[in-house]
Each structure stands twice: as C-alpha cells, then as structure tokens.
A and B are shown apart, each in its own frame.
Chain A
C-alpha cells in the first residue's frame, strides 16, 4: 500500500488544502457550495487545456499552441452551430463533432510539423498558436460570434447537485484522460518517450507516430476547452483562449508534472488547475483589488512551484 511512498508527491495536495483553509479563514464565504460551483465553472475549460498539455509535457516536449487552438475551435464551433440551424436540436450537435475533429486535426498538424519536420516543439507549437489566432481574426473579422440556444446553454444553466452540467462534462473527460494515461498503449508510450527516447525507440516504440498522436490528443482536449468556453460565455472570438498558455503550463508544473518529462500526469494537472483557480477565486473573494491580482497570481505561482515540486534531483534548469 505504501510502496514507493514519498511525502513530496503529496505536496501539491497539501498546498491546495492550505490555500483553501487560508482563504476560508479570511472570508468564510469562500467555503460554500456556491463558491465551489464558481470555482468548478472557471476550472472546467482550463482543466481541459491543462490535461492536453500534460500529455505533451510528459512526453518531454512542450505545446504552446493552446490559445490559438482553443480560440479557433471555439469560433469554428460557433459558425458550424449557426450553420446547422443555431440550436442543438436542429443539428447543432454536428458542430460539436466538427469542433472536436478540427482540434484533433490541428493538433496532429502541429505534431507533424514538430516531429516529421524536426522543428523543436517549443517553436512549432508557438507558431501554430499564432496561426490559429490569426485564422480566428480572419474568420470573425475581428468580431464576436454569439450563440443563443437555451438547450446548449444548459451546460451552464442547468445544475445537478449545485454544479452546472459543464462541470460533469469536464469530469467525464478528466476520467477519460486518466484512462488514456494509465490504460492505453499511447499513454504508456508517452512515458517511455519522456523517460528515455533512445531506449523507447530501441524497444520498438513508434516514436514519430506516438508524437503526432499525442499532439492530436492535446488538440482534441483544447477543442473541448473551446466548446466549454462557448458554453460558459455564450460567444467566441479571437481572445477566447487568452491567458490559457501561462495558466495551463503553470497548473501542470504546480501540480507536479515535471517539465523534463515522464513524471506526473493527468491527476497532477487536476490538482494544479485547482490550485491556480483557487488562488484566482480566493483573491476575488477576499477582495483584493483587480489591478494587483495578476501580479499576486504570478508571485503565488512561484511560491506554489517551490512548495509543491521536488527539485532535489534536478541537476540543471534550462
């Protein structure tokens, strides 16, 4: 039961608990179902992005295309939704699949450019992110696309046990992510490549194919984030995915995913997302002025990384 037990691996959870206690002590309203629902709503799209990028980080690469992919799939979803009648019942559900397929395709393209054309993932994915945002601006003409379908908006408005439906959707894909990580060949191979790429290749792991599949998987999760963002806000535009790059990578690292690969996973991403969202939400609840929140978030993130990650075996940082 306590095999390989390491207190360090529990640190992210402890940090999360400490944060909850801290904010509750300052304002007891923090610890309420109402507020937890708020946190869960904010965390849902964000979690999808963090899970996506975690797959890539575990493989030892990095993906910075999330802001572009989220915005573009959100906009494509909206356009498709309107094209198919503007309501879920009229055929808007096709738009869901269209957006997911697009995310997967865009991720695969991203992975192909990185792995096949041998461009560092940092560069290729950053560029693909910009292409995505550019395409969004082009499609929307710089404007906003709105969706006004009560059935689709039930994702936000209809609540079960106090939490809106979109939280359950996110939870479903969280479990799917865990399953992919722990129980599929793709998941296992990601850890093999992140741990020792040469060895993985010498063991017959199809490295190129795995890399492209991982980016496609990440793109799929980004498109889910795009759809949930639309559910949350009722609209899509070129800034739908804004800020998600810093937040999602931060969340993965705070949660205990190692940037050099093979350590951590989907569960760590969840804890990291909760830590970052709790900090964000807590600052509002305790009444911190709007204009200093970004600065405080940055500072707290550094503190959280120091507390929650095991850096004793790291020889150098790049």
Chain B
C-alpha cells in the first residue's frame, strides 16, 4: 500500500538517502535496521512528511502522492509513534488523544468532556487499555504512555481515507522485557488494521516481530531479508558493509603511545540510571573510543568525567591525583579537561559570538588585565589557531554561525587546544560533516594524540572507532561488555556490532 521508488535525499554535500526502493503491504510488519547515521531517521521523516524527498516517487495504493507536512501525511493515513514520547504531561489522556481536534467535541463554544471521554475509551480499547481518560499522562508509566501514543495514531483510522501505515520508532527502548512482549502481541493483533514499519537497533527484536527486514547502510538499502531467512550475523555484516580504508583514517599515523601512568582513571564508577561499574584508563597520547548504541550510557560517561553528572559509586582519578575532585564543568576546565558535546549547534558553539570570542570563552581570565579584556591578545590567539588548524573564516571577528560545520568544529577544538587541555573528550566530532571536513577532524585527532593529549572519543561509526582508536571499550545498557586493543588485534566492525547488540 505504501511504496517508495528511487527516493533520494541530500543535505548539502551529504547524501542522506540514495535510490531507496521500499514497500510495505497491508497486514505486514516491516523491520528497518541500520547503524547510527545510516539514514533510518531521515527515511522515517520522509515517510512522515517532516522532510521532502529530493527525487523519486512515493505511491499509496498505486497512486502517486507526496506528503507536504506531517499533518498532510496523517490525513493520508501515516501515523508515527515517536521514540521521544510526544504526549503533553500536564494534559489528560483524552486531551492528548484529541489534541488539535477539540472542535469535534464542541458544544456552544464549550468542550463536551463527557463525549470526549467516551470517544477516548473507544480509542483506548483498541490497544487494550482500561484506564481513566481524565488522568494526567505524566502520572502514567512509560509503557502506558507508549500504548496511548499508539492509540493516538490508531485514532487516525476514522479520519484518513485509506488504511493506516504506522511507524514505530525505537518503541522498545524504554520498555521492560514483559512490556515488550505485550507490545509485540498488540502489534500482531492490529495487523489487519494497519501496516507497520518497525525501527529499532535491537536486532533480535526486529527479527522477532518483522515479516521482512530492510537493511540500511550509508543511505542505501543494501539488503532485504525475509523472516524465515533472517540470521542476526548475516544482517550485522550487511549493516557494517564495506571494508575500511586505512588511508582514510590515517591509521599509519597511529603511533603506539608511550607507557605512562594514566591521565584519567575511571574506577568502577556508576551514575544511577545511566551507567554502572564502568572502569577505564586513558593515557597521554591515547585515543580511547567508547562504542555503544544510542542510550547505552556512553555520553553519560563523558559527562561524569566533565563533572556534569554526580557519581554515585566508584571514583574518577584525574592525573593520578587522588585528592583532585571535579564536581562541576568549571572545575573540569580549570584542571585542563575539555569536552566537545555532540550537538554542536546547541552545546558546542556560541552562534552569535565571533570566532575569537568562542575560542577564548573558557579562558577569559587569561586574557584580562586589571579586569579589562585585552582584545588584541585575544585576536592574536585566534589568528594563530585559525592558521594552525586552517579554519576557513573571513576573519577572527566573523560570527560563528556563518562558518560551515567543519570549521565550527575546528573552532571548538581550537578552544580546548589553546587552553592547554590535557584530556579532551569528543562526542561525535564528525557528525554531519562532509568527507573533506571529516578528514580534517581525523588529522586533528592524530595531531592531538601525538602531542600527548589523552582523547576520549565517541565515534560516529565503527570504522572511525577502529581507524582512530588505540583501544575500544564497548558499552551496552550502561555496562562494559567488551574491550579491544587495536594495536594488538585486528578488530572488525562485525566484532563491535556483535558485542553491542
């Protein structure tokens, strides 16, 4: 009933999706898998109307169509159950279910809540929930909220012209094992009402639920597997795909780091609800990669080291000094620990400040005399680093939001390098960058490593982890599950995927 023919989507120079051919029939449950950044969410957003395809054809029941907005897609029978739950917590269940449709229950300008509650009970029965529709959604459990999301999507049945296509985006990530089983039963029972597209990074679950599985790799559909033939290891190898190009990661430049006491030693540290009993050592000149799925707790480890999360158990020793405690980002910066967060636009760069101001933003006291900032010194430092990292910018006074992503990333790196940080943590430093800019970031990582800086890296892809890291730690559900020493053994993406999923 829904079919994609040769659909492509580009973001500037980056090809997010290339010639996607994809279809889903009524009564079918289709799985969609791929590693982080393979294009899953882009594909979902096109189906849901949040993005428009650059080329290709979308058919519904054999007729050509296009989704100009999520609203338009909904009216054509596309429903989405979001990963980040989209219920408004301070509104009741029924208000959430009929948000934007209150007019249907209006009487003389007032909302007839009795009628709305009745209609809600009918919708909730579809997902087997017997619950008071007057209750605030904030008081519900995750799994109940998930079911209400599903009911909200199923409420489209009565409104859209044809049958429903329902997208489930990582629906199991917050559910317990029993709840997952319940959800799967429910989805199976709803088969005759709708077609489902199931996106998840938990491969076993995808195989369990789906009739067919599509494998995405670098924006292309590289395989389509029927359930009967689905084997986890085969799908994993397809997700990982091509051989790595050693040249590309400057693997030859990866010198063994000199043995030294660790700069950073995380010892059995736990942060409740995020990770448990993680231990790792980082040495001068070492690149240590943390690999894991979204939500595995990788980011939280970096944030804990940076003083943003309080550790409940265990300890973190910096520079071998057991008495040095870092409890705030401010203290981290003062002790030469730098952190480049993942969301460059939100957390990495001050968009309305210029290049020089961004570079000095964490070391202002060093550029002040008698309380007044010395702009000449500030600009001098900026010019030096613009040259060293070949940042492409008209000048040090240019606002950072006018720079390309790669150059913004260089500015953030310049910020930490110029303060003399000895430990630098990078979260997805190449996310969203084109090939050339990525290579620049790789060279910078190599250069920092040879300068004796300890680097804790969350890579964007497995290839990056293998190509850049001296050591790789695999984290799953907040625990260390595997360690690899890249200098001693040849690690393959397959090894990493197997450990992760």
Contact = CB atoms under 8 A, between A and B. Distances in A.
Interface of A: 3-4, 179, 182-185, 188-189, 191-192, 195-196, 198-206, 262-263
Nearest to A261: B352
A267 B16 CA distance: 45
Contacts of A179: 372
B357 A204 contact: no
A204 B333 contact: yes
A204 B368 contact: no
A202 B375 CA distance: 23
A203 B339 CA distance: 8
Given A191-B353, A195-B352, A206-B330, 17 more contacts: A3-B394, A4-B399, A184-B372, A185-B365, A185-B373, A188-B373, A192-B350, A196-B347, A199-B348, A199-B349, A199-B350, A201-B330, A203-B333, A204-B332, A204-B333, A204-B362, A205-B330
Nearest to B374: A183
A184 B373 contact: yes
A188 B334 CA distance: 18
B353 A203 contact: no
Contact of B371 (A185, A196, A201): A185
Interface residues of B, number: 33
Q: Which of A188, A199, A201, A203 has the most CB of B within 10 A?
A: A203
Q: Which of B330, B346, B395 has the most CB of A within 10 A?
A: B330
Q: Which of A182, A189, A196, A262 has the most CB of B within 10 A?
A: A196
Nearest to A204: B333
Interface in B300-345: 306, 308, 329-330, 332-334, 339, 341
B398 interface: yes
Given A195-B351, A202-B339, A189 B364 contact: yes
B349 A185 contact: no
Contacts of A191: 350, 352-353
A202 B329 contact: yes
A262 B351 CA distance: 10
B397 interface: yes
Contact of B306 (A184, A185, A202, A263): A202
Contacts of B349: 199
A262 to B, nearest CB: 6
A182 B351 CA distance: 17
B251 interface: no
Nearest to B363: A204
Given A184-B368, A203-B415, A3 B397 contact: yes
A48 to B, nearest CB: 21
A29 B308 CA distance: 62
A315 to B, nearest CB: 14
Contact of A195 (B306, B353, B368): B353
B361 interface: yes
25 contacts: A4-B399, A179-B372, A182-B373, A183-B372, A183-B375, A184-B373, A185-B368, A185-B371, A189-B364, A191-B352, A191-B353, A192-B361, A196-B347, A199-B350, A200-B361, A201-B329, A202-B306, A202-B308, A202-B339, A202-B347, A203-B333, A205-B330, A205-B362, A262-B352, A263-B352
Nearest to B306: A202
B364 A198 contact: no
B291 to A, nearest CB: 23
B331 to A, nearest CB: 8
Interface string B385-422: 00000000011011100000000000000010000000
A183 B373 CA distance: 5
Given A179-B372, A196-B347, A202-B329, A188 B357 contact: yes
B282 to A, nearest CB: 19
Contact of B361 (A198, A203, A206): A203
A204 B360 CA distance: 11
Contacts of A4: 398-399
Contacts of A185: 364-365, 368, 371, 373
A191 B352 CA distance: 9
A152 B133 CA distance: 70
Given A185-B368, A196-B346, A204 B330 contact: yes
Nearest to B332: A204
Contacts of A3: 394-395, 397-398
A182 to B, nearest CB: 8
B112 to A, nearest CB: 30
Contact of A204 (B334, B352, B372, B398): B334
A258 to B, nearest CB: 10
B97 to A, nearest CB: 24
B350 A195 contact: yes
Nearest to A258: B352
A211 to B, nearest CB: 13
A161 B492 CA distance: 81
A266 to B, nearest CB: 16
B347 A199 contact: yes
A4 B393 CA distance: 13
A202 B348 CA distance: 9
Contacts of B350: 191-192, 195-196, 199-200
Contacts of B371: 184-185
A199 B329 CA distance: 10
A188 B364 contact: yes
B341 A202 contact: yes
Interface string B196-229: 0000000000000000000000000000000000
A20 to B, nearest CB: 31
Give the 9 A-B residue pairs with the shortest CB-CB distance, closest first.
Answer: A204-B333, A203-B362, A185-B364, A204-B362, A183-B372, A203-B361, A204-B330, A195-B350, A199-B347
